[in-house]
Structure 1
Amino acid sequence: MAEESMGLAPENRERLSKRRTASNATVDAIKEYILEHHLRPGDPLPTEASLQGALGVSRSSVREALRTLQSLDIVSIQHGRGMSVGELSFAPMIEAVLFRARLNAKDDLSTLREVVEVRMALDLALTDELIEVYRGSSQPKLREHVKNMRECVEAGRGFASCDEAFHSDLLAATSNHMMQQLGMAFWRIHTVAVPAAGLPQAKDISDTVNAHDAIIDALVAGDAAAYRAAVIEHYRPLRRLLEVAAN
């Protein structure tokens, strides 16, 4: 909401603007401190008072900047344990995309459709690397996840935890940690956004479960074309459901 619509007097708007400018500058200064000192996730940070002195800014600017950085998972603040560098996760992005999905869930479901397309694109982008890793192996752990999914479907239960374990273990084999994190971030968005949009479970959900087996088969056989086809089939039931819901 704009300051004008909140009824702020001009002098208060100017004061608020200056405070935001100071806070933004302090955010950048703390980021630079982390970079210059080669700090990593989990490494301790100085106290508020120490940062205030080191950066030459007000206590309020430091506190506001730390709140901003905490919301971005760049800084972790734990009572009784002090401050440290955060996990630098995709949690803020997940929250933003989920909120965006909720905003248009009753209109055109476009964000949810885009989330599914991103997930599929990420899976397809890893084709060559995953085949190189999995070719000729047996993968009993991945097979067990699929078995558990199938049992859940047959019992009329959801299988989100089994699905998460499958995709987490599958992506763990890649050396691209960013792709691992992105893949699981969009898995979480997908899993939360579908029921939040009021979508029922696809009637042909068993096709999705079977596609997991086909994914393993293709990777073990080193068949890139079969892997791509299995990935597309994996998302087909949900994509059909989204198409019906949008019409």
Structure 2
Amino acid sequence: MNRKMSDNFAQAFLRNQIPTTGALPNGGAEVPVEPISAVNRSSATMNAIKAYILNRGLKPGDPLPTEARLCDDLGVSRSSVREALRKLEALDIIRVYQGRGSFVGEMSLVPMVETLVLRYGLTSATGRDSLRNVVSMRRYIDLGAADSLVTAMAGTSNPHLDELVATMIAKAEAGHTYLDEDIAFHNGMNAYVNNELLTQLTGAVWLVHQAFIPELNSQQNSDSLLDTARAHGNMLRAAEAGDTDGYRQAIYDHYQPLVDLLQLEH
């Protein structure tokens, strides 16, 4: 959150979501103070605190006002502020430290991961239907980033990624899985795109995938593990060579064993 909203957007957002005092950044006009009504007070207070973070361009770790100051500024009770802070903390938007106050959180996708794992676990006793969705999403993300990633990696050399591929192949040949190396490889590739959200999304979907992997482990054979491991190497070589078509084909090869196992549409 290191980019401030434009004045027009900030003012529109704040007029609809939050009563505030003081001028907006860059000489924006003051917004009239109007206490939040009792209706949807908790949601309104949460929106007010989120707007405060956005409007001031706060970053993870930056402090928030005290509860007393938030009560005065927002025109709500301390219980409303505390309830809003608890909910925002559960979403990793803020962090509350006893005796120190409230700070902007990491805003990670961990809450989304936990929700998806629970949701997918409830939709199918075996998890197979859920895995179809997760694997499809992982493939969509990889294919969507292909052009930017290959452009960024063309002409580079990545011995650390080569080592990860070699380890994956060795483990596959021994009949073992390679979960840690797999996600490290994808994170290493995605780092070239310089898009933090892409890295977080990849990690989040991977964690959901990982929650259902135990069911697959008993169904995957060493050949499919080895094919997937080698596909990682093909992805790397194609990206380094600037070969977008080859990279996309390697992505399809990467997911082919899971596609076959889960009977996904190609």
Q: TM-score range by the shorter chain?
A: 0.7 to 0.9
C-alpha contact 2:234 2:250 (8 A) present in aligned 1: yes
Alignment of 1:47 onto 2:61: no
Query: Structure 1's 20 and 105: CA in aligned 2 closer, same or farther, altered over 3 A?
Result: farther
Alignment of 1:31 onto 2:50: yes
Q: What is the match of residue 208 of structure 1? A: 228
Q: What is the percentage of aligned positions where both structures have the same residue? A: 43
Q: What is the match of residue 173 of structure 1? A: 192
Q: Which of 202, 213, 216 matches 1:183?
A: 202
SS in 2 for 1:76: strand
TM-score (norm 2): 0.78
Letter in 2 for 1:121: Y
Q: What is the match of residue 245 of structure 2? A: 225
CA distance in 1, matches of 2:151, 2:190: 13
Letter in 2 for 1:131: V
SS in 2 for 1:84: strand
Letter in 2 for 1:75: I
Q: What is the match of residue 4 of structure 1? A: none
CA distance in 2, matches of 1:132, 1:142: 17
Q: What's the CA shift for 1:212?
A: 0.3
Q: What is the match of residue 256 of structure 2? A: 236
TM-score (norm 1): 0.83
SS in 2 for 1:143: helix
CA distance in 1, matches of 2:211, 2:63: 33
Query: Structure 1's 115 and 20: CA in aligned 2 closer, same or farther, altered over 3 A?
Result: farther
CA distance in 2, matches of 1:99, 1:169: 28
C-alpha contact 2:149 2:239 (8 A) present in aligned 1: yes
C-alpha contact 1:101 1:109 (8 A) present in aligned 2: no
SS in 2 for 1:172: helix
In structure 1, list runs of 5 or more residues that go unmatched.
1-17
Q: What's the CA shift for 1:198?
A: 6.2
C-alpha contact 1:94 1:185 (8 A) present in aligned 2: yes
In structure 2, list runs of 5 or more residues that go unmatched.
1-36
Q: What's the CA shift for 1:177?
A: 2.5
Q: Which of 158, 165, 180 matches 2:177?
A: 158
Aligned alpha-carbon RMSD (Å): 2.2
Report 1:86-97 matches (<5 A).
86-97=105-116
Q: What's the CA shift for 1:199?
A: 5.4
Moved over 3 A (4+): 154-157
Query: Structure 1's 198 and 216: CA in aligned 2 closer, same or farther, altered over 3 A?
Result: closer
Q: Which moved more, 1:230-239 or 1:171-180?
A: 171-180
C-alpha contact 1:42 1:86 (8 A) present in aligned 2: yes
Q: What's the CA shift for 1:89?
A: 1.4
